Structure 1
């Protein structure tokens, strides 16, 4: 199971104006949230910095494991924040947030060690040999494991404003208002 963790830190909600104000976003996760961190690690084998990644929004590869934006990008846009840059990106501004996510990572350091299972990096390499979605605007998955930008947009909306059936126990908007 792929786990993506999103941590919104330093939430300041104005109770008088009922406005949602989130000053920064700090992202921790795997390939579902990676904004290009792996692009800045020369020895990494899990990469998305080549075509056709990024083709439907950025029009070029960005290191994101999707045809466009990640769910974190959509959440940032909804919160009126810039996309959180990878923490290894030279000369990036981290005032509004930073993205530590790295594709191929797991919850535990030992995710693929001594378990005789296919490691996350091996899964990505195997997945790279499969066909990518030829119609990302009409499909749910971009490749073997990653949803298309359209699906990610819907998921971001559900995380931010969805009811408890969709965002349990609380959505991000209600969490920020606490």
Structure 2
């Protein structure tokens, strides 16, 4: 498994090798020992799946606060997405910084998002099926969201030729300027 640290501390791109022949391929999409060997402690308790049928569907920027903070391992099973994380750990030197990475079914790459990051994605084509493992269950009383288009974050979302398709919750998300993080540097 190719595990590559990215510009924000604790965020990794993970590329499982594929073993293929004329029938297709086989790969191991989750291997705890490989993650642990890179210092990533991740004990998933739940698998989630998200289907977006339209180009430009934007989900995020979401997080869960302690004590139900979630780390995530995200991958695209069908289609391509632009996946974004924002560091919301108070004492982090990269607090408020973001990074984006294209995840695609064709590439098979994944993004590990530790607790203490807001997460969101935009679909780059129709019919995107996203699967992700989380290490804490859904706890609606701890969930939060930041505006996807917040000027203080200045995320460079791709131009897909259509306005983003948003949920009501994401339309109502708060600004980064008014945000008071529930995260210290650690979990």
TM-score range, shorter chain: under 0.3
Q: Which structure has more strand as a fraction of its residues?
A: 2
Q: Which structure has more helix as a fraction of its residues?
A: 1
State the TM-score, normalizing by the size of structure 2.
Answer: 0.24
Higher RCO structure, 1 or 2 (CA under 8 Å, sep 6+): 2
State the TM-score, normalizing by the size of structure 1.
Answer: 0.25
